[in-house]
Amino acid sequence: MAEGEGRVFLQGLSSKTYGLGEFRRRQRAADRVRRAGTVVDDASVGHSGDSDQSQTSWMLGPGDDPFLTQTLQVHFVELMPGGANHGHGHQNEACFYILEGKGYEIHDGVRYDWEKDDFAIVHTDCVHKHFNANEDTRALALVMKAKCTWMAMGMWQQGRSAPFDAQGYGPREDWSKLWTPGATQKKKVVKKSDTRWEDTRDGRVRIISSPDTKDVRTNSVDVYQQEIAPGGKSAKHWHMADEAVYVMSGKGNSLHWDVEAEIAEKYYARVAERPSRWDFTAGDLVYIPQNTVHQHTNDGDEPLVFLSAQNRLFKALGYDNVVYLEDASAGRQKAAATA
């Protein structure tokens, strides 16, 4: 995003013909790995949360050039030792995975404590502020959200707390009357101990947020952590949702088989015969476009650990299946342990 421009919440789509094939071609041609340290927007424009004790830096979002995603935003929030950001509110949810440090949130006047490897949720329509409880070290969170979903549906109200001065409105009503019954009873912080590692067709994963985690207060972003042993591979699988993968440790590569639609008497999928390869290392963010067959490989000597985020709206729209074309392989560590 160029300096001085406003923030882009949604990418415009237009075409002189019925199809958007050229738009899709440009999206697929873009680099799918954002390298560690990449900042596509330093939040100096139009962000109400930062203070002189906090910093926001964006890695992925609809305003990027080249454009990748319309469904996910990924950024970091850093709190200086003992610092806090400005309290502010917005209608969209935001999910924070704590990478470093220890601190707490104030959400609608209620305190929620967190520490490294916790998953904290800013619920929809929430006035919130983040605090670093440690006076000696920074706190760092990876923020994954689907703000564009709210924006596309016209839920735009956001900003810092301020006196209400609009004329012609009646007394206060409790905004939470609009929420799904029982929402306030769900978890706002998921501790690492609240989850468990599982061996699945996709490999070793830890589900943090999904439609099945009904006690967790997020409705928009599905998040899991995966660990792949040296020499191991994830499943080769296919789903409609696009995906952002943040590499926490290790290195490897991601193979992507693009999928094209054949529109005949009905829709048919045509999978590319040869994949594109995208190499990554710790701190990188790997983007997997919608409707792409993909597989991750650990080609290093240490475990590969990453976080994956998807916009849950795809499941609500009828794309809740995962097609497995090849199951995960264990890799050298697990093979040796079971020999």
What would the two tokens of residue 211 be?
């439609």
Rounded to 5 degrees, φ, ψ at 278 are: -130, 110
Are residue 237 and residue 302 in the same domain, yes or no?
yes
Indicate whether 122 and 69 sit together in one domain: yes
Is 271 found in the same domain as 217?
A: yes
| Ramachandran quadrant class, 202 (left: phi over 0; alpha: psi -120 to 50; beta: rest) | alpha
- The closest of 201, 116, 2, 183 to 174, measured between CA atoms, is 183
Residue 322 falls within a domain, yes or no? Answer: yes
Could you tell me which residues come within 8 angstroms of residue 241 by beta carbon, excluding any fewer than 6 positions away?
71, 290, 310, 311, 314, 315, 319
Q: pLDDT in tens for each of the 339 residues of the chain?
A: 334 467 788 888 777 777 778 888 888 999 999 999 999 877 665 555 677 888 899 999 998 988 999 999 999 999 999 999 988 899 999 999 999 999 999 999 999 999 999 999 999 999 999 999 999 999 999 999 999 999 999 998 888 888 999 999 999 999 999 999 999 999 999 999 999 999 999 999 999 999 999 999 999 999 999 999 999 999 999 999 999 999 999 999 999 999 999 999 999 999 999 999 999 999 999 999 999 999 999 999 999 999 999 999 999 999 999 999 999 998 876 544 433
- Structure tokens, 79: 């709190």
Give domain status of residue 20, yes or no.
Answer: no
Quote the pLDDT of residue 87.
Answer: 86
Q: Which phi and psi angles does 148 have, rounded to 5°?
A: -60, -30
pLDDT at 45: 55
Give the pLDDT of residue 135: 95
In a domain, 154, yes or no: yes
- Is residue 42 domain-shared with residue 96, that is, in the same domain? yes
Q: Indicate the number of domains in the chain.
A: 2
Choosing from 146, 161, 176, the residue where a domain stops is 161
Burial 130-152, CB ≥16 within 10 A → b, else e:
bbbbbeeebbbbbbbbbbbbbbe
Structural domain includes residue 67: yes
Q: Report the alpha-carbon angle 331-335-336, nearest 5.
A: 120
Boundaries of domain holding 74: 33-161
The per-residue pLDDT for range 180-189, each reduced to its tens digit, is 999 999 999 9
CATH number for the domain that contains residue 321: 2.60.120.10
